[in-house]
Structure formats: C-alpha cells, structure tokens
Amino acid sequence: MLIQPSKPRTENLPYTTQRLWNDSGTFTPSLGCTNCPDKAICGGLAVASDLYDCLHFCCGSPSGCDAVCRNKPEEFAQRVREVGGFSLENVPRAELLAFPELPTLVPVVFHGNKRTLTFAGPDVICLPMSKVVEARAAVVRFKSPQHLRDTFGLGPNARVILTGTSTDSSLERWWSFGNNRADAIQALKMLGITLVTTPNYSLFTDQPRWDDLHSMKRIALVHQEFLSAGMPAALHVNARTERDWDRWGEFIASRPEITHVAFEFATGAGWAGRIQWHAEQLTKLRMAVGRPLNLVVRGGITIMPRLFAVFEKVTCLETSIFLKTMRRKAAVLRADGAVRWKHAPTAQDETLDALLNHNWTVVLESYRRVGLALSSRRKAA
C-alpha cells in the first residue's frame, strides 16, 4: 500500500528553525536518543533547543498527521514496509551507465511563454520534471521530442535534462505512481531526455526523524529506478544531520554506479549561517567517497569556488536567467565578474527572446570568468 503524504505541518512550533539545526560538534546530543532502536541509522539529534528526543515534534493528532511517526503504529509499519526499511544497504544495484558530458552552466527553462524563437544558445537546457510529467498520472505531457522542444522553445541541437527539485506535492505524486514510474521513465527516454536529478524528498528540522529516514530511502530507491531503466541520474543528497551525510557517503562509496550527485542551495540549505555547513558536508562526502564524483547544484553561488575545488565537475542549474527575463530584468556584468540586474521594460506585445539571449550571454561570461580564475588557481597549486 502506498501512502501519499503532503508537506508536514510546521505551524505553531515554539522554536526557530536555526535552533533546530543539527551540529554535533557544538551541541550536546539529546538524552532521549541514547536508547532509541534506530540510533545506529539516525545518529540522534544535537541541536540548540532543549528537546528530549525527536518525538518532541509529534503533533499528537495522528488522524490529521502526514509524518512518518512511531506514535501511529499501524501506518508507521506500512510506511516502513513500502521502502523496505530505513537502511540504504538493501537498495537494488544498477549497472554503470555512460553519462552525458555536462557544461558548467545549464539554464533552467520553465515554459515557452512570451517567446517566438528557439533558445539556441546553450548546449544543454534543463526543464523541471514536474512540467514534463503529467501531475495526475504517470505519463508525459508530450507526444514527441519535437513537441517538447516546440512547447519550451528549445533549439534542435540542445540536449535536455530534467531537475527533480520541486514542491512537496509534486514529489509525492511521483512517488504515488508506484510501479508505473518505470513506464514514465521509459517515456522520458523516448522524449530524448539525457539525464535527470532525482526528486529531492524533503527533510524537515521540526519532524520526527523517521520522516527524514523515510525520505532518504525514497531518494535512493527512485535514483536506482532511473539507473536500472537506463536513464542517467544524479542522486540528490538531502541531509539534516552529520550522520545523514555519513550515510550518503558510505552508500555512494560502495556503489560505483553513482557518478553524479545533486544538491540544492536555493531554499533552507542556502540560508546564511547554514550554507557553509552544507558546503563542508559536501566536501567531506566527496573525500569519503574516494573516487571522482560530479556535482549538479542549484543555488549557492557564494560557495561555488569551494565546490569547484573538490568535485571533478560542477554543473550549475541556473534559474535566474529565465526568471529575471520573465520579470523584465537585464543582466549587467560588473568589473569583478559578478552580475547585477537592471529594469528592462518591454512593449506590451514585445517578445522576450532577445532579452533571454542577452541574459544568457552575460551570465555565461560571468561563470566563465569564475571558471578561469579557478583554473588558474589549480595550476598554481
């Protein structure tokens, strides 16, 4: 039986998010975690807030709760069974696939509105998976590769990849497809999709830890489904604690078929005071894996130099090129290589093709300058 949870409820909590950030090097482990039967997998919590264990976050209303929680025994058992337990060791293996070469910068295109020409500049273009797969059924929205390209205004030679980062409701729908996910993956291959980043099932700082463990296992399972179907995929490494990061490192190190990982700094992980922690954990993960590893990342421009220094290849899925264009903003390259945005109003019936191409060119040059600086630094070292 497949349970379809929605985003867990987080209102009316007495603690700020920052006080729930796990940091085992700073805070004392929660006393109640000591004898938890899942301590070996979870690792326990070490946060600023004075909580006894993760059941502190139990809402006490099982009938209206979507979280994976031991205080709902019957449903908890079903949720554990549907993922085969919380351990990552029993995730099926897959063959090593040939992955497409990715550039450093890949723009994300959300739709084809207000444009009449093809976006021909980039070699690779990323689309949201939620825009390609029908929300209510495990089928794609497009009849052919050309139909897809015409809808999003893509050139004939650009390779297309998909990002699985999305809203929780969209991610849960993909999981609810169950066995039909395999058919959907084959349909994506027929559309000419060359790579996906797997859905980033959420981990929340204010939920019982079993909800996190369930999300991590689903990420691993879905990633394996893509690889087993012959679709190159980057494993999205969502993590809340140091132990979560350690588990991902152990999992990836034991599976040479995992050559690409994905991460997203655009939301919680990108907050000031936390972004550096996640960058450090990504660096430790790369070192723990002990072999070449490629990173596909959204957001986090401020810590890009650090990531470029440790991963064999970093590919940035860039959303501002498209979103700023839709808001009638033009990119301006500053002397230091950074980009600022200025107002660029258009006439009522004017298309945004020229502005999109301009913004792509300017942002690409900004990334090239960063890349040249990093290359020079590596040679000097």
Q: CB 89: neighbour CB atoms within 10 A? A: 9
What's residue 13's pLDDT? 34
What's residue 371's pLDDT? 66
User: Does pLDDT of 370 surpass 80?
Assistant: no
What's residue 363's pLDDT? 95
Beta-carbon contacts of residue 164 (< 8 Å; ≥ 6 apart): 129, 171, 174, 196, 197, 198, 199, 200, 236, 262
| Cβ-defined contacts of 65-68 (< 8 Å, 24+) | 65/8, 65/9, 66/5, 66/6, 66/7, 66/8, 66/9, 67/5, 67/8, 67/207, 67/208, 67/210, 67/211, 68/5, 68/208, 68/210, 68/211, 68/213, 68/214
Greater confidence, 166 or 198?
A: 198
Enumerate the domain spans of the chain: 17-82, 105-380
β-bridge pairing 294-298 and 260-264: parallel
Model confidence band, residue 373 (pLDDT cutoffs 50, 70, 90): low
Mean pLDDT taken over the chain: 89
Model confidence band, residue 7 (pLDDT cutoffs 50, 70, 90): very low
Q: CB 144: neighbour CB atoms within 10 A? A: 11
Beta-carbon contacts of residue 118 (< 8 Å; ≥ 6 apart): 149, 153, 154, 155, 156
Tell me: the pLDDT tens digits for 44-86?
998 988 889 999 989 888 778 889 999 998 899 999 999 999 9
Model confidence band, residue 16 (pLDDT cutoffs 50, 70, 90): low
User: Does pLDDT of 226 surpass 50?
Assistant: yes
User: Does pLDDT of 375 surpass 80?
Assistant: no
Class of domain 105-380: alpha beta
User: Does pLDDT of 173 surpass 90?
Assistant: no
Model confidence band, residue 139 (pLDDT cutoffs 50, 70, 90): confident
What does R_g of the chain's alpha carbons equal in angstroms? 21
What's residue 14's pLDDT? 40
Q: CB 180: neighbour CB atoms within 10 A? A: 12
CA 91 distance to own-chain centroid: 19
